[in-house]
């Protein structure tokens, strides 16, 4: 089995703010919650251990509660990163830190709470490499030249950039190897070291396999990185819209025309289905994290259909991460000239929208009279 | 004298877009224009050489024209960064690249076109250090551990993070030293090297002085860095507002109350002056790059006062960088109940605003009747 440890004990000095960066809100949600969610989405990860400093344990538990995180255990960290990771690992091996000892995994992933955008693909590659080599870690090309300074503050030498790499996260290890390394290593390592791959090499003679990672693995370090994370999330949220109509011909046609006119600006999926049936195409779209839906109907009050979509979305856990926008369009193509929606219907829709908003699903109603 | 060379010939592969990053628009303005402007604002820099690849020379000239950059010479770059910098330096030493040979500076600054936020303070420190040591460069702590990989793609060793630094920009050199280094160095250096400090050390035995830089020196490399740059600029633009009133007591009081109610949200400077006199306090505020002004008056039509402020702003070159917002408030505290502004006044203000908009100054008129 595979489990994950997320050290989240840092103080975030480099960010220049009072709140440690892993607890800074990005689009209203703490950064650590994105990292937890990224791990949680990977079904083959059993346990997720989040290691936080003593003063943040309650904060972390509140976050887990609020965002409905599952499979997460909160562990008290040490005064350095290595000590925190060691504490996280102990949960699988010693009774000291947890009332119930968690099942010892074959492979343990170590990831940062401040790297919110890790994809299953790279996690999987790193885990496979760790199974084969005992240890593995994501790397990236260096952005700047690395130099060594002499005692007088002058340049001693510079490293040839092409020969070196930046060590990033995630990393993964055979549990027995990294746990052994932490047990063997010195206080100096625990207090001043920063690199888990180094411990595996030094104490277990395990040369980690290095895996090229993607640019989005970067670590949120400075305030500008929070800005960047926010923009990336916004970008993702507005990338796709799904237009849903019934199978009725006139409506399907409207759905087609709508998607044609939208597709120059956004990725559009148009589907004609009966919402009461559990449609696998729609399920797929939802699981690919579509956050925007337009539902076109000719029914007088489409609460029931909308409710079915809301139920599907809720079950998918998608709204846990970000608000879902759902526009319910009532298309009135009857010859009748008068408004076919009364105050009563309006009240019903408003009440419905208030309820779904609590579930992070924003429902908007739109009435179009077409003649 | 001091001059600067900005290599801007990169292809921006890492950004994943067709446009090289230095020409990507951030808040509607190409990144390179920010870097040029950052140098231009420093009065003691004589010439600014921007080195671009042949296909971008016209683009660069258009940018210089559009944003009114002064003291800039565009030079054709080579196929690598070092070759481009060398070309930039030749403008001061050989007739080949420029119809008129520019005056050879004592110190030359080398900065990146994709580092938009460099402040005079760090440039000045680096230049002073270069005068003393022959070479100097800004450095930053490493964000990730640096590792060396073996031929099999496994970890060979990791570097102790505290002993190394990331080499950033700006750098500065005694012109004769860096020019000598470029003349001496091999084709291999020119084609595969990345570090000017290394050339000065290798060919002129000059150990560069390393100067701790600020976090905002970072290099725009990935798409997320463009997002970050955009947010930083937006942040800066909305950080300060200046409330200007005449010395008349009632108006000064309004200015005071307005700034009191604004100051929880934004940095406010409130001043009471006669705009027709050249006020040094206001000049200071403008030169500290305030982009937001509220001008409160009780005159019937305050075009003249507003015009004086517009003139000051224009002379300051501030609107060249970003739009300036200027809200002209006409406070009507007379007992007279009727609107004291007619269609004629409105037309005058609108016409005025249309004119100033061309100068990147956005004028808004506001009429408040207070009883």
To test the contact with chain B by mutation, choose from A142, A145, A230 the residue with the greatest count of B C-beta atoms within 10 A, namely: A145
Per-residue pLDDT reduced to its tens digit, B97-114: 556 678 999 999 999 999
Min Cα separation B97/chain A (Å): 29
Helix A31-40 and helix A223-237, axial crossing angle in degrees, nearest 10: 50
Residue B93: both structure tokens together: 């030493």
* Residue A48 Cα distances to A38, A226, B353, angstroms: 11, 24, 59
Q: What is the DSSP string of A127-158?
A: HHHHHHHSEEEEEEE-SSEEEEE-TTSBEEEE
Highest-confidence segment of A227-236, B268-277, B300-309: A227-236
pLDDT band at B144 (very low <50, low <70, confident <90, very high): very high
The total of other beta-carbon atoms located within 10 Å of residue B354's CB is 10
Residue A335 has pLDDT above 80, yes or no: no
A257 touches chain B (CB under 8 A): no
Helix (H) or strand (E) holding A294: strand A292-297
Q: How far apart are CA B223 and CA B161, in angstroms?
A: 26
A166 touches chain B (CB under 8 A): yes
Q: How far apart are CA B224 and CA B50, in angstroms?
A: 25
Q: How far apart are CA A273 and CA A320, in angstroms?
A: 25
B157 touches chain A (CB under 8 A): yes
pLDDT band at A97 (very low <50, low <70, confident <90, very high): low
Task: Count Cα atoms within 13 angstroms, Cβ side, for B361.
Answer: 27
Residue A204 has pLDDT above 80, yes or no: yes
Q: What percent of chain A has pLDDT over 90?
A: 50
Which residues of B are less than 8 Å from A148 in CB distance? 163-165
> Phi and psi of A87, rounded to 5°?
-60, -40
Residue B120 has pLDDT above 60, yes or no: yes
Interchain proximity A149–B161, CB inside 8 Å: no
Closest CA to A196 of A91, A109, A93, A94: A109
What residues pair up with A139 in beta bridges, in sequence order? A167, A212
Min Cα separation A227/chain B (Å): 5
Helix (H) or strand (E) holding A4: strand A2-7
ipTM beyond cut 0.95: no
Which of the residue ranges A28-37, A150-159, B327-336 would you say has the lowest mean pLDDT?
B327-336
* C-beta of residue B8 within 8 angstroms of C-beta of residue B60: yes
Residue A16 has pLDDT above 60, yes or no: no
Pinpoint the residues of chain A covered by CATH 3.40.50.360.
Answer: 238-369
pLDDT band at B62 (very low <50, low <70, confident <90, very high): very high
* Residue A360 Cα distances to A30, A325, A357, B275, angstroms: 16, 9, 5, 52
> Which chain B residue lies closest to A210 (C-alpha atoms)?
B154
Q: What percent of chain A has pLDDT over 70?
A: 91
Q: How far apart are CA A49 and CA A6, in angstroms?
A: 6
pLDDT band at B371 (very low <50, low <70, confident <90, very high): low
Q: How far apart are CA A165 and CA A161, in angstroms?
A: 8
Mean pLDDT within B139-147:
94
Mean pLDDT within B24-34:
90
Interchain proximity B147–A195, CB inside 8 Å: yes
**Bigger pLDDT: A57 vs B247:** A57
Residue A183 has pLDDT above 90, yes or no: yes
Pinpoint the residues of chain B covered by CATH 3.90.550.10.
Answer: 2-233
Which residues of A are less than 8 Å from B224 in CB distance? 215-216, 218, 225, 228-229, 231-232
> Which chain B residue lies closest to A195 (C-alpha atoms)?
B145
The total of other beta-carbon atoms located within 10 Å of residue A25's CB is 12
Min Cα separation B137/chain A (Å): 9
Q: What is the mean pLDDT of chain B?
A: 87
Q: How far apart are CA A285 and CA B247, in angstroms?
A: 64
The total of other beta-carbon atoms located within 10 Å of residue A261's CB is 10
Q: How far apart are CA A49 and CA A53, in angstroms?
A: 13
Task: Write the DSSP symbol of residue A266.
Answer: S
pLDDT band at B16 (very low <50, low <70, confident <90, very high): low
Closest CA to A179 of A114, A89, A100, A257: A89
**Bigger pLDDT: B243 vs A130:** A130
**Opening angle at CA B170, ends B168 and B175, nearest 5:** 125
B222 touches chain A (CB under 8 A): yes
* CATH of the domain spanning A238-369: 3.40.50.360
Helix (H) or strand (E) holding A47: strand A45-52
Q: How far apart are CA B166 and CA B162, in angstroms?
A: 11
Burial of B294 (0-12, 13-18, 19+ CB in 10 A): buried
Helix (H) or strand (E) holding A124: helix A120-133
Q: Which one of B164, B219, B224 has the shortest CB-CB distance to A146?
A: B164
Q: Which residues contact B272 (CB under 8 A, 6 or more apart)?
A: B244, B245, B246, B247, B251, B252, B255
The total of other beta-carbon atoms located within 10 Å of residue B47's CB is 19
What residues pair up with B167 in beta bridges, in sequence order? A145, B139
Determine whether domain B2-233 maps to CATH 3.90.550.10: yes
Helix residue ranges, H only, A185-341 = 187-192, 196-204, 223-237, 249-262, 280-287, 303-316, 318-321
* Residue A136 Cα distances to A13, A110, B148, angstroms: 28, 10, 14
Q: How far apart are CA B314 and CA B323, in angstroms?
A: 11
A231 touches chain B (CB under 8 A): yes
What residues pair up with B74 in beta bridges, in sequence order? B50
Min Cα separation B198/chain A (Å): 6
Would you mind telling me the total number of residues written for chain B in this entry?
371
Q: How far apart are CA A355 and CA A291, in angstroms?
A: 18
Which of the residue ranges A210-224, A337-351, B255-269 would you say has the lowest mean pLDDT?
A337-351
Closest CA to B111 of B40, B161, B187: B40
Q: Which residues contact B57 (CB under 8 A, 6 or more apart)?
A: B74, B76
Q: What is the mean pLDDT of chain A?
A: 87
Helix A175-184 and helix A196-204, axial crossing angle in degrees, nearest 10: 80
pLDDT at position A255, please? 86
Residue A236 has pLDDT above 60, yes or no: yes
Residue A62: both structure tokens together: 């509140």
Interchain proximity B14–A142, CB inside 8 Å: no
B209 touches chain A (CB under 8 A): yes
**Opening angle at CA B91, ends B90 and B97, nearest 5:** 95
Interchain proximity A230–B231, CB inside 8 Å: yes
Q: Which one of B135, B143, B167 has the shortest CB-CB distance to A145?
A: B167
> Which chain A residue lies closest to B233 (C-alpha atoms)?
A224
Q: How far apart are CA B136 and CA B200, in angstroms?
A: 10
Q: Which one of A210, A218, A224 has the shortest CB-CB distance to B155?
A: A210
To test the contact with chain A by mutation, choose from B158, B169, B229 the residue with the greatest count of A C-beta atoms within 10 A, namely: B158
Give the per-residue SS3 of chain B. CEEEEEECCCCCHHHCCCCCHHHCEECCEEHHHHHHHHHHCCCCEEEEEEEECHHHHHHHHHHHHHCCCCCEEEEECCCCHHHHHHHHHHCCCCCCCCCCCCCCCCEEEECCCCCCCCCHHHHHHHHHHHHHHCEEEEEEECCCEEEEECCCCEEEEECCHHHEEEEEEEEEEEHHHHHHHHHHCCHHHHHHCCCHHHHHHHHHCCCCEEEECCHHHCCCCCHHHHHHHHHHHHHHHCCEEEEEECCCHHHHHHHHHHHHHHCCCCEEEEEECCCCCCCHHHHHHHHCCCCEEEEEECCCCCHHHHHHHHHHHHHHCHHHHCCEEEEEEEEECCCCCCCCCCHHHHHHHHHHHHHHHHCCEEEEEEEEECC
Q: Which one of A164, A215, A219 has the shortest CB-CB distance to B222?
A: A215
How does A308-337 read in b/e, with b if 16+ C-beta sit within 10 Å? bbbebbbeebbbbbbbbbbbbbbbbeeeee
* C-beta of residue A102 within 8 angstroms of C-beta of residue A92: yes
Highest-confidence segment of A38-47, A156-165, A339-348, B174-183: B174-183
Q: What percent of chain B has pLDDT over 90?
A: 50
Which residues 117-156 of chain A have a CB within 8 Å of chain B? Answer: 133, 135, 137, 139-140, 142-150, 153-156
Per-residue pLDDT reduced to its tens digit, A163-179: 899 999 999 999 999 99
Mean pLDDT within A134-143:
96
Helix (H) or strand (E) holding A295: strand A292-297
CA–centroid distance for B33 within its chain? 7
pLDDT at position B339, please? 55
Min Cα separation B231/chain A (Å): 6
* C-beta of residue A241 within 8 angstroms of C-beta of residue A266: yes
Residue B335 has pLDDT above 70, yes or no: no
CA–centroid distance for B282 within its chain? 21
Residue A298 has pLDDT above 70, yes or no: yes
Highest-confidence segment of A192-201, B235-244, B272-281: A192-201
Q: Are strands B155-158 and B25-26 parallel, antiparallel or unpaired?
A: unpaired
Mean pLDDT within A50-59:
94
Q: Which one of B146, B168, B210 has the shortest CB-CB distance to A164?
A: B146
pLDDT band at A338 (very low <50, low <70, confident <90, very high): low
Q: How far apart are CA A87 and CA B103, in angstroms?
A: 63
SS3 (DSSP) at A30: strand
> Phi and psi of B32, rounded to 5°?
-60, -30
Which residues of A are less than 8 Å from B149 in CB distance? 139, 165, 210
Task: Count Cα atoms within 13 angstroms, Cβ side, for B279.
Answer: 17
Q: Which residues contact A326 (CB under 8 A, 6 or more apart)?
A: A293, A295, A306, A309, A310, A313, A356, A361, A362, A363, A364
The total of other beta-carbon atoms located within 10 Å of residue B366's CB is 12
């Amino acid at each position: 089995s595979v489990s994950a440890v997320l050290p989240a004990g840092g103080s975030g000095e480099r960010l220049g703010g009072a709140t440690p960066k892993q607890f800074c809100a990005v689009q209203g949600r703490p950064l650590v919650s994105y990292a937890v969610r990224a791990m949680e989405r990977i079904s083959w990860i059993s346990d997720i251990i989040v290691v936080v400093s003593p003063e943040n344990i309650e904060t972390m538990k509140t976050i887990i509660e609020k965002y409905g995180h599952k499979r997460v255990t909160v562990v008290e960290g040490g005064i350095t990163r290595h000590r925190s990771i060691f504490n996280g690992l102990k949960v699988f091996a010693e009774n000291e830190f947890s009332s119930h000892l968690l099942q010892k995994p074959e492979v343990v992933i170590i990831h940062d709470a401040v790297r919110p955008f890790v994809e299953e693909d790279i996690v999987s590659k790193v885990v496979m490499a760790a199974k084969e080599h005992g240890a593995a870690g994501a790397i990236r090309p260096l952005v700047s030249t690395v130099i060594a300074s002499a005692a007088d503050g002058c340049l001693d030498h510079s490293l040839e950039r092409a020969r070196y790499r930046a060590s990033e996260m995630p990393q993964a290890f055979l549990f027995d190897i990294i746990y052994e390394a932490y047990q063997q290593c010195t206080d100096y390592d625990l207090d001043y070291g920063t690199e888990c791959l180094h411990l595996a090499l030094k104490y277990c003679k395990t040369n980690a396999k290095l895996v090229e990672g993607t640019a989005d693995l970067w670590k949120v370090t400075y305030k500008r990185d929070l800005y960047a994370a926010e923009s990336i999330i916004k970008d993702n949220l507005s990338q796709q819209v799904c237009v849903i109509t019934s199978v009725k011909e006139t409506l399907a046609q409207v759905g087609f025309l709508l998607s044609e006119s939208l597709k120059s600006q956004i990725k559009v999926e148009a589907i004609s289905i009966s919402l009461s049936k559990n449609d696998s195409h729609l399920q797929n779209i939802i699981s690919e994290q579509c956050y925007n839906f337009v539902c076109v109907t000719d029914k007088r009050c489409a609460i029931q259909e909308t409710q079915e979509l809301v139920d599907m979305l809720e079950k998918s856990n998608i709204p846990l991460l970000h608000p879902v926008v759902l526009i319910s369009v009532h298309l009135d193509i009857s010859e009748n000239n008068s408004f076919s929606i009364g105050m009563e219907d309006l009240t019903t829709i408003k009440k419905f929208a208030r309820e779904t908003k609590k579930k992070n699903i924003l429902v908007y109603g739109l009435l179009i009279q077409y003649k």
